[in-house]
Each structure stands twice: as structure tokens, then as C-alpha cells.
Amino acid sequence: MLNSDGSSMELRHIWMGLGVAALVACVAATEKISEPTLKPGRVKVIYWESWTDFEAEAMQRVVDSFNRRQDKIFVEFVSTSGTEEKALMATAGGIPPDLAGLAGSSVPLYAYFQALTQLDDMCRDAGIVRDNYIPICFDLMTYKGHVYAMPTTPATTGYHYNRKILKEAGWNPDEPPRTIEELDAMDQMVMRKDKDGRVKRAGFLPAEPGWWSWSWPYFFGGRLIDANGKISTDLPANVRAYTWMQGYAKRYGVSQIQTFRQGFGQFNSPRNAFIDGTVASVIQGVWMANFIQKYNPSMDWAAAPFPYPADRPDLAGSVEIEQDCIVIPKGAKHVREAFEFLKYLQSQEGMEMLCLGQKKFSPLKQVSPEFYAKHANPFIRFFREEALSPNAFSTPRTPIWKQYGRELDVAIDKINLVTTDSPQQLLAKVRERVQPMQDEVDKIEKLRGDSAP
């Protein structure tokens, strides 16, 4: 069913579900990092961002550098929780900030609701083109052929492993598992149980930490939306991926895994299951080094590409990439001035200042030797090179990804619980529920004449 503005009732409810109360809260969204004193005639650009701690401090340094370089524009950086919800509800209410931080996976949703300023013309005039970037980092900023955002800090995932534990179990730590089959074999070698048969240590668990369970199909050659834009949850490769995942639940025992994982500490703590050696290897992001250095700096660890199926060597280098970005909400008062800051941020100087401070890698193709020399992560080159892999992937580029992801999570929970339905049956049900949502999006975009992907 369509609203008068062409949006679907289903997605409209999701949109409004971001919280009407946020529209009021956004005006007072605070925890300000700077209180500017403006010279007469200087334009103030308001920038809302959800980062805190060292991540916010890194962006504040970039903002301060920009403000010192010229006297026409002053960017006021505001760190506030729930930036996406507040900024977009403020946009709906006609009082948006000039700049706002956004997760790259959210760009299709907000572009679909026409809540973002298209940046195509300004990027072209400024010489900001795809060739300046790691390709996937630029592509994540676009939707339906238009540029809606600029990248800030990208992050790839990698196979993190405890070298000491692998060595003690008899696995050469200089040759981490390259294939899924080797990963399974390593898990069997490292796994330990007590005299009562309770699991005390695992080599690997697909459910730990479980943040990227949606991504398993891509490591097996599958995908969640096919080349024709159709929901493809139950492709054979996807079924194979989730059947592999379920194999761990069957091998360890569902109740055994549940009991084992209940003993894990919080992620940001010394009792993180990987940091304290309870699980010898995990799939984690470039940021994992920060927590290792904080809670277990003497840990002997390394990062490597995540394994691929032995019969699919063409999938070597498969890696998930995420990326934060910065947008100009539709209706912002100072679009041109906001874009001046974006130009500085996209310069090598501005980008390396930010990414070095946040301990991520730069999305730009050109990286200075000093960036690597000063970086705190010993594997930062590896994580950046991963993003250049032809097998790099991200969340599906659809406005309904949040709904799709929730439906998929429900199925994944049932697969891990080894319910009576097979992985294929559960995945087929997801496709059947999600495809009508995608059909409605396609219909609306066709009626509006949106560009093809």
C-alpha cells in the first residue's frame, strides 16, 4: 500500500519508528566538544556525530584543523548519541544539522526516503571521483547511480587467531587455516572439555561474536540479493554456508554451546572470549587490535584472510567491509559551506588525520608512508589491502536491509538451535517474507523514475 508521497506503509512505519521524540531531542542534542566564538560574518556549520572517546577526539582534530585554515566557515562538532535517528527526524521536521554521521549501510534507506542531499555535482566540481578511492569504499556512498555521502572511516574484518594456543595444540601458527576444512580441523585440535564433558575452550565458533552471521553466504560464493535485484536467501551456496554453521552446533551440542557462551565476558572487557583465550580464533574487525592492546597487550596474535571452501579457491580474499560516512541532510541551511568541510575531510591530510586517530585505514588510494609508520595496528596494511580484494562485499544495498536482516537473524537463531526445519526451509521462508517488501521498493522507485543501480 502506498502513501500520497509514494512511500510504502511498511517502510513509512519503519521510518517513523525512528522516534518522533527524537525530533524534539535533536535540537538539544548535546555533549558538545566545542563552544565556538564566531567572528562576524563567519558561517557556522553544525555537524552531528555519534562518535565518543578517542573517535570523537580524532574528528575534533580534523574540525579544528579546518577551522584554523580559513575564516569564512566554522564547523561546530557535536557528539551525541543516536545521531542517525535524531538527524533524520530533524530532517523530516525541517530543522536538520548541516552535516551528520551515518553508517554506510543506512545510505540506501535514507536515500530512498529522499532525506539526503545528492552530492554528484559538487563532487564533480571539486574533482572528487571514484578513482581517488578504494572502489568499494566509494561505491558504498552511492545509491541508484547517485552520490549521497562521503566516506570517513572504513573497516574490514579478518581472521584473528591466538598464535600461542594454536602452537600448543599442534597447529603451525605461521600457517593459519586457509580453507574452511582446515578451520574445522583446527577447531577439533584446539577444543578442550573438562572431565564432565563440558566445553572449556573452542578453536572457532561461528556464533562468536555473531555480529556478521548474515555474511556467511558470501564466504561460500552466495549472496543475499541476486544480480537481478531479487531476494536470494535460499541459494544453494547460502544453504551450504548455514549448514556449515549449523555443523558446529551439532558437533558441540546446542546446550553445550549455550552454556559455554554464557560464561563469556563482555566484548569490551578483559574477559572477552578471544582476549582471554576461551576461543582461539574469531572473525573480527580492524578495531580488535585496540582491545587486545588495552586488555592483553602481551597476547601473541595475528590476523589473516578468512578461510574459503577448499573447492572454491576463487573465493580466497572474501572479506566484509563496513564504513562510516558523513552526509548533508536534505534541507540543510549551509550546503555549500558544509561541502567545503567535506572537501578538506576527503583530502589526504584530513583523511589520514581522522583514520590515524580512529585507528582505521584510509579509504583513499593514496596513503602516505607516515600513516603506516605511525599506526598503532601492526596489521593495518593487511586490513587495507583486504578492501582491494575483488571478493570484498558489504551489506545488501537495499532500503529494506534492516527488515531483511531481522528476518534472517530469526532464521539463523533457529538454524543454530537445530530445529525441525532444515536450513533450506528456514531460508526459503525468509525469502518469501522479504521479497514482497523488495517488490514494493522496486515499484515505488520505478514510479518515481529513480536511476537503475
Q: What is the DSSP letter of 420?
A: S
Three-state SS at 364: strand
Query: Any bridge partners for residue 161, and if so which?
Result: 281, 302
Three-state SS at 73: strand
Return the pLDDT at 451.
64
Domains 9-155+322-393 and 156-320 share a fold: yes
* CA dist., res. 445 & res. 453, Å (int): 11
CB atoms within 10 A of CB 299: 15
Q: What is the DSSP letter of 201?
A: E
Q: Please return the burial class of 243, using the count of CB atoms within 10 Å of its CB with bins 0-12, 13-18 and 19+.
A: middle
What predicted TM-score, i.e. pTM, was given to this entire model? 0.91
Q: Give the CATH fold of the 9-155+322-393 domain.
A: D-Maltodextrin-Binding Protein; domain 2 (3.40.190)
Q: Are 180 and 387 contacting, i.e. CB atoms less than 8 angstroms apart?
A: no
Return the pLDDT at 84.
86
Strands 142-143 and 99-103: unpaired
Three-state SS at 139: helix
Q: Which of 372, 393, 227, 242 is nearest to 317 (CA)?
A: 393
CATH superfamily of 156-320: Periplasmic binding protein-like II (3.40.190.10)
Read off the amino acid at residue 30. Answer: T
Query: Any bridge partners for residue 308, and if so which?
Result: 179
Three-state SS at 25: helix
* CA dist., res. 326 & res. 100, Å (int): 6
Return the pLDDT at 2.
39
* CA dist., res. 189 & res. 173, Å (int): 13
Taking the CA atoms of the chain, what radius of gyration do you get in angstroms? Answer: 23
* CA dist., res. 316 & res. 139, Å (int): 22
Q: Which residues contact 265 (CB under 8 A, 6 or more apart)?
A: 271, 272, 273, 276
- What DSSP string runs through 336-358? HHHHHHHHHHTSHHHHHHHHHHH
Q: Which residues of the chain fall short of a pLDDT of 70?
A: 1-37, 451-453
Q: What is the largest CA-CA distance in the chain?
A: 76
Q: Please return the burial class of 94, using the count of CB atoms within 10 Å of its CB with bins 0-12, 13-18 and 19+.
A: exposed
CB atoms within 10 A of CB 237: 18
Three-state SS at 288: helix
Return the pLDDT at 388.
97
DSSP E strands, 226-311: 281-285, 301-304
Q: What is the DSSP letter of 116?
A: B
Q: Where are the domains of the chain?
A: 9-155+322-393, 156-320
Q: Which of 397, 388, 402 is nearest to 148 (CA)?
A: 397
* CA dist., res. 332 & res. 341, Å (int): 14
Backbone angle region of 355, left / alpha / beta, with phi > 0 → left and psi within -120 to 50 → alpha:
alpha
H helix runs in 348-422, sequence order: 348-358, 369-374, 380-387, 401-416
* CA dist., res. 414 & res. 254, Å (int): 11
Q: Are 359 and 377 contacting, i.e. CB atoms less than 8 angstroms apart?
A: yes
